[in-house]
């Protein structure tokens, strides 16, 4: 926390941060997120950069008058500088004068992308996204408040060679051409549908953590000047469109895109520790919420075996795509279907924002760690057998289609420590107690990291959850015997002793080869688990601790 004296210094001496500039290269357009597609940009009233013209928002057209050049503390439309007179809320254009303090601005890149007026400490503001709404300066609000959030915007096809303001920091390029090669260093990605999307991954074999600043684009469509995603990389993929974000979630072999085997991965987002993004200069576009929309808020996690990405728009974009939970991974940040062997595209409701619980927001590292929210309901799902590389403009025909509807209730449980026990067959499914009550059935559920009913600890040969031990009800040795949560006692009860080996949880009871099994192989939430004859040929008994 800042000391009072330092806070005071920041307030009375804006020169300390006066030269803070956007992390993207000028010229660009300044867009505001209050219109969903983000295509309302700062422009001089009347559409021409002339002295005395006030600033308004209008449809982004990439006109000369909408091109913003930021140099030091001066912001220009055309050859004229933005100025805001002390005591006046309006912002207008005037002949540039380096000694005029009213023409001094800074970009609060660590504070919600606010544009601040140095002399007054007030923020650039637009009341709505309606055409010709005046752009003013007013008291600064909360970080990422939509009226005061300003995103450097490049219309697709107008990107500079390197979008990073400091081009020496950017590994790749944003002018990518159309030639897809295995050595391309394009850093634009596109999210259009399950058969037309890209991911960021390392340019050469290594860990995500070491290479996050220089990851490059791998696309399912050739012809965009990127690398391509090798066929067979994804073993399962779930694509969901909500009202304000699009999300991809999947499993696979991402060593095919240069992630080291066994790498636990990391987070990529447009912020990073330096506010230049990971990758530095990376840009994200898509057609899900409009034509060639630029997503200014997005978050992606990728490891050697799991991948997720969410790209967000609108006034809640920063909340829907947080970048502050970088060690929590896909399942906690972006809950979804991560099952292998399933490729589907769905419409969906919005999941509750990660880390937000009512009026409270959790800070990473504070103990205990809360449960992640469950995935929201999805519907109108269309399934297909796989995904493959194809040229831009081609249409992929699904070989298998189905329409389904799934629902998920939203619950908040007491955060606890421990580890999930995941199915080795469906990695988004976990062993759980049906409730925290004594005698609760042991069931299969969607994995929720931190949920009190799913966080297990192994003590000796016992499996403990919510203060109870997994117990073979009544010591029943028959195939099909059910499991329950029961008092642990001294920890030596024979009905509660399970060994772990070969991905099997096997009941230690002389003369009976019984392992924990998903009843009838049905992985629907709430299906009870049972003891069944130990088998090395069924995936229903495979578990990962």
Tokens of 431: 């062993």
pTM as predicted: 0.72
**Bridge partner list, 445:** 430
Average pLDDT, the chain: 89
> Residues of the chain with pLDDT > 70: what percent?
91
E runs forming strands in 244-393: 245-252, 266-268, 283-286, 293-294, 297-302, 306-312, 343-348, 356-357, 360-361, 378-384, 390-391
pLDDT exceeds 50 at position 126: yes
How far the first Cα of the chain sits from its last, in Å, is: 39
Q: What's the CATH code, domain 422-544?
A: 2.80.10.50
Tell me the per-residue pLDDT of 155-171, one tens digit each, with 9 for 90 and over.
999 999 999 999 999 99
The better pLDDT of the pair 37, 227 is held by 227
> What confidence score (pLDDT) does residue 417 get?
58
Tell me the per-residue pLDDT of 66-88, one tens digit each, with 9 for 90 and over.
999 999 999 999 999 999 977 67
State how far the Cα of 421 lies from the Cα of 419, in Å rounded to an integer: 7
The class level of CATH for 12-153 reads mainly beta
State how far the Cα of 156 lies from the Cα of 174, in Å rounded to an integer: 10
C-alpha Rg value of the chain to the nearest Å? 27
Q: Which residues of the chain are in CATH 2.80.10.50 domains?
A: 12-153, 422-544
Q: DSSP class of residue 74?
A: E
């Amino acid at each position: 926390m800042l000391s009072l004296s330092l806070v005071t210094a920041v307030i009375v001496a804006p020169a300390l941060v006066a030269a803070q500039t956007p992390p993207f290269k000028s010229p660009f357009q300044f867009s505001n997120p209050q219109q969903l597609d983000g295509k309302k940009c700062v422009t001089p009233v009347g559409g021409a950069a002339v002295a005395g013209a006030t600033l308004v928002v209008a449809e982004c057209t990439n006109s000369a008058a909408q091109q913003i050049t930021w140099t030091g503390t001066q912001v220009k439309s055309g050859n004229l500088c933005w100025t805001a007179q002390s005591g006046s809320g309006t912002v207008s254009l005037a002949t540039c004068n380096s000694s005029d303090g009213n023409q001094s601005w800074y970009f609060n890149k660590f504070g919600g992308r606010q544009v601040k007026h140095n002399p007054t400490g007030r923020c650039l503001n637009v009341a709505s996204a309606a055409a010709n709404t005046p752009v003013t300066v007013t008291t600064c609000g909360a970080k990422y408040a939509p009226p005061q959030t300003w995103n450097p915007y490049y219309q697709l096809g107008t990107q500079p060679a390197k979008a990073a303001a400091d081009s020496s920091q950017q590994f790749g390029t944003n002018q990518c051409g159309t030639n897809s090669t295995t050595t391309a260093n394009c850093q634009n990605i596109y999210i259009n549908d399950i058969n037309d999307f890209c991911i960021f991954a390392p340019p050469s074999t290594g860990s995500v953590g070491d290479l996050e600043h220089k990851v490059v684009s791998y696309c399912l469509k050739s012809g965009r000047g990127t690398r391509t995603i090798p066929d067979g990389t994804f073993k399962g993929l779930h694509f969901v469109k909500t009202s304000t974000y699009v999300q991809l979630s999947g499993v696979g072999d991402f060593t095919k895109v240069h992630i080291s085997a066994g790498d636990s991965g990391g987070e990529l987002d447009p912020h990073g520790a330096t506010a230049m993004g990971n990758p530095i200069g990376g840009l994200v576009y898509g057609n899900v919420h409009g034509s060639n929309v630029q997503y200014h808020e997005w978050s992606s996690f990728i490891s050697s075996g799991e991948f997720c990405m969410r790209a967000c728009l609108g006034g809640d974009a920063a909340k829907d795509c947080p970048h502050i939970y970088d060690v929590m991974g896909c399942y906690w940040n972006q809950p979804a279907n991560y099952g292998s062997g399933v490729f589907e595209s769905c419409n969906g409701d919005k999941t509750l924002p990660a880390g937000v619980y009512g009026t409270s927001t959790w800070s990473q590292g504070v103990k205990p760690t809360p449960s992640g929210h469950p995935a929201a309901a999805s519907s109108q799902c269309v399934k297909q057998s796989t995904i493959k590389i194809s040229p831009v403009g081609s249409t992929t025909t699904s070989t298998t289609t189905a329409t389904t509807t799934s629902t998920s209730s939203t619950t908040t449980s007491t955060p606890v420590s421990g580890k999930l026990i995941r199915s080795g067959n469906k990695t988004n499914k976990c062993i759980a107690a049906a409730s925290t009550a004594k005698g609760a059935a042991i069931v299969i559920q969607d994995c929720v990291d931190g949920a009190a009913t799913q966080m297990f600890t192994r003590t000796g040969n016992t499996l403990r959850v919510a203060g109870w031990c997994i117990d073979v009800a009544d010591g029943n040795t028959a195939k099909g015997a059910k499991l329950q949560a029961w008092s642990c006692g001294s920890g030596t009860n024979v009905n509660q002793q399970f060994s772990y080996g070969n991905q099997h949880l096997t009941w230690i009871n002389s003369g009976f080869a019984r392992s924990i099994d998903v009843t009838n192989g049905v992985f629907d939430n709430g299906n009870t688990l049972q003891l069944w004859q130990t088998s090395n040929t069924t995936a229903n008994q495979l578990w990962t601790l």
